[in-house]
Chain A
Amino acid sequence: MNRLFFLSQSPPRILNSLNNPPLTSLNLLHWIFTHPISRSVDYGHRFRSGRGIRSQHAESATSHLVAELMSPSQRPGSARGENLVLDDENVPTASSVYVHIPFCRRRCFYCDFPIVAVGERTDTNKAHMDAGMTDYVDLVCREIRLAAKVNSSKPLQTVFFGGGTPSLLPPPLLLRIIDTLHEHFGIDSGAEISMEMDPGTFDVHSLRQLMDGGLSRVSMGVQSFQGALLESCGRSHGLSEVYEAIEAIHASGLNNWSLDLISSLPHQSLQDWEHSINEAVKASPAHVSVYDLQIEEGTLFNKWYKPGQSPLPSDDNAAEFYRMASAKLQDAGFAHYEISNYAKEGFQCRHNLVYWNNLPYFAFGLGSTSYIGGRRFSRPRKFKQYREFVEQFESSGGVIECPQDSTEDRALDVIMLSLRLARGLDIQAFSQRFGAGLSTLVCKALLPFVSSGHVVFLNADGDILDTEVIKALVQDSRVFGLSRLSYVRLTDPNGFLLSNEVIASIFSALPSGENSQYRACLCNLVDY
C-alpha cells in the first residue's frame, strides 16, 4: 500500500513543486533507494521530456539529488551500456598491492584471520614446510601474473605483506614475490614495501637480505610487553624475543618501522598497559599501531570470554586504555592520524592510507580482499579452495565474477573509512561525488554528536565551527549552506572511542531499503 502510494503520489509532487518540504525530499530519497527499477522507468520520460536537467538542479535540491544518485548507466538516454564500469575520474588506477602470507607457527587465541599453522621449524619438517611454502608462493605468483595482464596499472606505490606471519617465509621466497610484482606491475622507486614481522622469526641477517630486495617498512607484532600476557593470548614468542627483535631492527638500520600493540587483553591492568606503552616509546619506532582486542567468533577467546566481562577489562577500563595510549603517544611525538594508528611526522603507513581513502588496490593470496574497478572481492579462506580459485582464474583468462558496489555502498564506504582518519570526511568531495542531498543527511545525522562533543566540523581555514553555526548551515535548505563546511571529523579520543556509534547513526539516517520512520509517516498519511 505504501509503495503504491509512493508510486502514484510522490514523483509528480516533487516535480511540480520546487520548494519541497524536507519530508518529501526524504521520501523521495528513500523511494529512490527502495525502487531501483522503477526509478529509471519513472524518471525516464521526465528527463527525456526536454527540460534541462541542470537548470532544475539549481532550483531544487531534491531533483539535484535524483540526478546525482543515478549512476550513469541508469541515467536515461545514456549511450553507455549496463556493463560499463565507472567514469574514469571516479576510479583511479590501482597502484597498491596486498599479499597475504598465511603461515604462522601457531594460531593466537584471538585470531580469526585465514592462516595456516605450521608449527616450529625443525630439521625433520624443514623440507616439507619449505615445499608447502614454495607451493603457495607459486600460486600467488601465478595470480599476480594474470592480474597484471588483465588490469591496467601504474607502477606500484605501496606493497604490503600481511599475514599470518610473512616473516616465517624464507627471505628468498618473499623476494620472489617482490620480483614477480616488479616484473609484471613494476614497482616505483620510491614505493613503500611493508611487511608484518613477528619477534622470533627473523634476525638482522634475514632483515638485511629483505631490505636489499626492496623492503622499506616493517610492522612488528609485539602486542604486549608482559610475558604473562603474551602467553595468555597464545603468542608464539616471549618477551626476550621481543627485545631481540627490536635490537635486530635497530641493527639493520631500518627507520621506518611500526610497533604493534593490542590493548584490552584478558587480565591486563592499567599498569600493564602503561608499561607497554612506555616500552614501545623507548623502542623508538616511527609508527605505533594500537589495536583494541576484538573477540571474534570462532576464536578460543570467544569461547572463553565475554566482552566487557572479567577477565577482559570493562568497557570503561578499555576506554581508559585507549585514552592513555592516545595521550602518552602524542606526548611522545606521535600523531594520532587514524583511530588505531600513531606515527612520527612523515611515517604514516602509505599502504593503509590507500584503504582509508577508499582507493583501489590489488590483493593476492589466501582470503585476501581486492578492490578493483569498484568491486570488492574476497578470495577463499581455505587453501584448497584458493588453489581452485587460482586455477579457475587462469582458465577463465582473468575473470572474477563479483558484483560492483552500488552508489549507496560506495557512499557508506567513504563515510566509514574517512571517519577513521584524524583528517575526517571531506564534505566538499563527498558532495561532489554523491550529491549535496546525501551530504546534508550525513551532516544532519552528525549534529547530535557535535553537541555531545564527539564530532567537530571544520571550515576551509581549518577552524572548528560553533554548534549553532553548523546547525544553521546544515538546516539551510539551499545547497550552498554546505559549501561553508569543509571537513567533519571525530574528536580524539572521545569521538574515536564511539566511532561505531557515530557511523552507525549516519548509516541509519541514510535511506536504505527499509526505513520504518519514513514508512510510518506514510502509513499515517494513508490511514488518517
Chain B
Amino acid sequence: MLARRAATMAVPTIPSPACISQSANGSIISTRRSTETNPRQHPSTSYRCAGRVVRRQGRSAISRSGSRYLHDLEAGRSLLKRVTLRRDWDSRLDEKDQYPRLGARAAATFEAKPENAEKDYSKNGKAANKGVDNGKDRLAKVPISNIRNFSIIAHIDHGKSTLADKLLQTTGTVLAREMKEQFLDNMDLERERGITIKLQAARMRYVDETGEAYCLNLIDTPGHVDFSYEVSRSLAACEGALLVVDASQGVEAQTLANVYLALESNLEIIPVLNKIDLPGADPERVRREIEEIIGLDCSEAILCSAKEGVGIPEILNAVVKKIPPPKDTAAEPLRALIFDSYYDSYRGVVVYFRVMDGRVKKGDYVQFMNSKTEYQVDEVGVLSPIQMPVNELYAGEVGYLSASIKSVADARVGDTITTVSRKAAQALPGYQLATPMVFCGLFPIDADQFVELREALEKLQLNDAALQFEPETSSAMGFGFRCGFLGLLHMEIVQERLEREYGLDLITTAPSVVYRVHCTDGTITECSNPSALPDAGKRKSIEEPYVRIELLTPKDYIGPLMELAQERRGEFKEMKFITENRASLVYMLPLGEMVGDFFDQLKSRSKGYASMEYSVKGYRESKLVKLDIRINDEAVDPLAVIVHQDKAYSVGRALTQQLKKLIPRQLFKIPIQACIGSKVIASENIAAMRKDVLAKCYGGDISRKKKLLKKQAEGKKRMKSLGRVDVPQDAFMAILRLEKEVV
C-alpha cells in the first residue's frame, strides 16, 4: 500500500529531470509535445489486448491471448513487412520526394547532413546543439567506448514496446509528430494483435549530464523465446539488456527464459520495474521476486512507467553507466553477426547485423560464412529506426547492408559476414538452420486459387527462410500444399497473412508434428502427414518430439494445470514455489499434444494467470498408432490422425460422435468408423435422409421456390467429398476444426 502510494506520488516530481536532460539533448519541443500526447497514449497492453480479443472472437483459432504468441520466436522474425515502414519513412522525411519507393533517392538527401554533423562533432568535441535536428546527429560517429548495444527483454505485455517508444522519443530519434504508438510494431498484424512479430533496431544519440555523447543501439527482440535461437542471436549482438518486469504482474515464464538467455550471452542486466503508475503495482514484491527467482540484485532496479514517461532518463543513464562498451576490435578481420534479414523487392535481401570485429563499407566484397555465398555490398547504413546510409560501420556498431542478395536463405540469421579479401579465421559461434516443427495442409477453398496460393507462398518464402511447402493433393480438398512451420504462431501468422494480404480463402488441416518412424527394414523415415505413415506391418517403432515445458502459475491453479499436463501425456519433472503464491511446474510433454488447444486450455484453466514456455528436447519412442476414420467404408485421408495408443479409443469415439452430428444425412445409411488398421474401435451410423420437400406452391409464384432450390444446388457444387459422401463446405470446415479440438 505504501509502496503504491509512493509510486503514484513520484509521478509529478519526476518529469522535471526528464525535461532538463532532454533540453541538454536539444529536443525540448519534441519533449513537450510528447508529454502533451501522453494522455492519449495508453498503456499499450490493456488496450491492445482488448482489441486483440475482439478481433479474434469468432475465429476458432487456437489462441486468443498474448503470451501465446511467445511461442514461436521465428514466427515473427522473418515476417515483418518492413518495406512498408521504409516507404513511409522515405516519404515522411523528404516530403518533396514523389517517388518514395525509390529509397536510394530519399536516402541521398541524408547523406550530406550526417557528414556535416560528423564534422561539427569533431570540431566541438562535445554535444552539438541543434534543436529539433538533434535526432539526426545520431549518425555521428562516437568512439567505440561510447557505444552501447542493448536490448529489452520482457514477458509479453510487460511494456517493452512502449518503453522502446519512449526511448526513441526521449532521445529525439523519432519526433513527436511522427510518433505513433508501438512505433516499432509497424505491421498491421503486430498492431492489431499487440505483439511484436518482427524485431527492429534503432540507433539513438544520447548526451549525458556531463555532456558526453553516446551512441545507443537498441536491438528489439520479439517477446517470445520458445524457439530461442533467433532471440539468442539478437542478444549475442548486445552487451547488455534491460529486463522489464511489470510491477503489478511480477515475474512470468518468459521473463525467466529471457533472463537465462541473456545470462548465457554474458549480458549486463538492468532490472526495470514498469507500469508503476498502475493502481495494482507493487514494486517491492516484484523486486523481491526478481531477487529470489532470478538472483539479480535489484537494489538499483529502476522504477518506471513507460506510458507516463517516468524513469526514462534514469534508464538511459543506467544504460550508459552499467552496460560495458564493445571491445575495440576494429583492426581485426571483419566478423558481423546477422540478427535479422528480410527481402525487399527492390534491393534484394536486406541484412541487419552487428559488427563484432573489423569494419565494413560500401563496395566491399563480403562472404556469408555459413551459406558460403559472396556478394558486393551495395549499401551500408544504420537503423534509426529508418534506414540511413553511411559510408562505413566498424566494430561495435549496428546497421544494415544490402547487396542484391537473392534469397533470405543466403543470409540467414546467425550467419557471419566477413570480407572476401581478408577472411576471418572462424565464423561466430551459434549458427543453426531453422527446422520446421509443425506441419499442416493448406488448401484453397476455391480450387481456382491454387495458383495464387502457390505464388503467395513463394513470396512469403523469399522473406521467411523457415517456411517450407510442397504440393499435396487430397481427394477431399483438391490441390494444396503441405507447409512446415517453426511453431504454432508462425503457422497462424502465415495463414493469416495469406488470407489477408493475398486475399485467399484457406482450409487448414489439423497441425501435425514430425514423427520419426523406424521401419522393419532398418530405415528411418520422417513423417509429418498421418496419411503418409508407413503401414503398420512395416513399422517397428515411432518416435515423437518431446518438449520441456515450464508453467508459472499462482498456486491456486496448480491442481488444474497438473491435470492438464497429465491428460496430455506429460511427465512430471519438478515443481517449486518461486514465491509464496507462485509455483513453477516442469513437465516433459510430447509436442504433438501441444499443437492442439493446449495453450487455450492452460489459459482457461488458470483463468488467464498462468504462463508457459517450452523448448524442444529431442525425440522419444512412444506407442503411437494411426487412427483412420472410415466414412461409408472408405478411409478418409485428411481425417487420419496419429495418436497415442491409450488415447485412441477416446479420440476415436469423440471423432465419430462429432462427425455424426456434422455430416448431413445422405440418401443412404452411412457408417462412420474409427479404426486402427483393420480393427474398428468406434462406430456410429448416420440414418438415411428422410424428408426434403417443399410442399407449398405459393399461388403460382415459383420464383421463390426456385431460388431456394438454386441455393441448395449452389451448396451442392461446393460440396467436399469425404470418400463417397458429400458434405457442405461449412460442415467440412467444422470437421477439420473438430480434429484440432479432439486430438
Asked if A2 and B713 sit within 8 Å, CB to CB, the answer is no
Q: Which residues of B contact A498 (CB under 8 A)?
A: 667, 689, 691-693
Residue of B nearest to A164 (CB): B699
| Residue B697 lies at the interface, judged by CB distance under 8 Å to chain A | yes
| Residue B710 lies at the interface, judged by CB distance under 8 Å to chain A | yes
The stretch from B55-63, B97-105, B700-708 touching chain A is B700-708
**Chain B 644-700 interface residues, beta-carbon cutoff 8 Å to A:** 667-668, 687, 689-700
Residue of A nearest to B703 (CB): A376
| Residue A413 lies at the interface, judged by CB distance under 8 Å to chain B | yes
Asked if B668 and A452 sit within 8 Å, CB to CB, the answer is yes
| Residue B478 lies at the interface, judged by CB distance under 8 Å to chain A | yes
Interface string of A376-392 (1 = CB under 8 A from B): 10100000000000000
Tally of contact residues, A, Cβ under 8 A: 57
Q: Which residues of A contact B446 (CB under 8 A)?
A: 516
Q: Which residues of B contact A294 (CB under 8 A)?
A: 694-696
Asked if B450 and A319 sit within 8 Å, CB to CB, the answer is no
Asked if B690 and A316 sit within 8 Å, CB to CB, the answer is yes
Q: Which residues of A contact B705 (CB under 8 A)?
A: 416
Return B556 CB to nearest CB of chain A, in Å: 41
| Residue B718 lies at the interface, judged by CB distance under 8 Å to chain A | yes
Size range of the chain B interface in the assembly:
35 or more
The stretch from A80-88, A116-124, A266-274, A504-512 touching chain B is A504-512
Q: Which residues of B contact A517 (CB under 8 A)?
A: 717
Asked if A496 and B693 sit within 8 Å, CB to CB, the answer is yes
Contact flag A378-B693 (CB < 8 Å), given A452-B668, A501-B667, A517-B717: no
Q: Which residues of A contact B712 (CB under 8 A)?
A: 500-501, 504, 507
Q: Which residues of B contact A66 (CB under 8 A)?
A: none
Bound form: Cα–Cα A340–B694 in Å: 9
Interface class of chain A by DSSP: helix
Asked if A505 and B692 sit within 8 Å, CB to CB, the answer is no
| Residue B433 lies at the interface, judged by CB distance under 8 Å to chain A | no
Q: Which of A2, A361, A496, A520 has the most CB atoms of chain B within a 10 A radius of its CB? A: A520
Q: Which residues of B contact A523 (CB under 8 A)?
A: 447-448, 450-451, 479
Q: Which of B479, B706, B710, B717 has the most CB atoms of chain A within a 10 A radius of its CB? A: B717
Bound form: Cα–Cα A1–B448 in Å: 9
| Residue A339 lies at the interface, judged by CB distance under 8 Å to chain B | yes
Asked if A504 and B693 sit within 8 Å, CB to CB, the answer is no
| Residue B716 lies at the interface, judged by CB distance under 8 Å to chain A | yes
Contact of B717 among A355, A368, A501, A514 (CB under 8 A): A514
Q: Which residues of B contact A515 (CB under 8 A)?
A: 717
Bound form: Cα–Cα A1–B698 in Å: 43
Q: Which of A371, A454, A523 has the most CB atoms of chain B within a 10 A radius of its CB? A: A523
Return B447 CB to nearest CB of chain A, in Å: 4
Contact of A413 among B478, B479, B691, B706 (CB under 8 A): B706
Return B63 CB to nearest CB of chain A, in Å: 32
| Residue B54 lies at the interface, judged by CB distance under 8 Å to chain A | no
Contact of B693 among A1, A339, A367 (CB under 8 A): A339
Asked if B448 and A2 sit within 8 Å, CB to CB, the answer is yes
Bound form: Cα–Cα A443–B504 in Å: 36
Return A268 CB to nearest CB of chain B, in Å: 15
Contact of B700 among A355, A507, A520, A526 (CB under 8 A): A355
| Residue A499 lies at the interface, judged by CB distance under 8 Å to chain B | yes
Asked if B448 and A519 sit within 8 Å, CB to CB, the answer is yes
Bound form: Cα–Cα A480–B477 in Å: 38
Q: Which positions in A face B, CB cutoff 8 Å?
A: 1-2, 98, 100, 113, 162, 290-292, 294, 315-316, 318-319, 322, 339-340, 352, 355, 361, 363, 367-369, 371, 376, 378, 412-413, 416-417, 448-449, 452, 454, 496-501, 503-508, 514-517, 519-520, 523-524, 526-527
Q: Which positions in B face A, CB cutoff 8 Å?
A: 446-448, 450-451, 478-479, 667-668, 687, 689-703, 705-706, 708-710, 712-718
**8 smallest beta-carbon distances between A and B, as pairs:** A507-B713, A504-B712, A520-B447, A508-B716, A292-B695, A508-B713, A369-B701, A319-B690
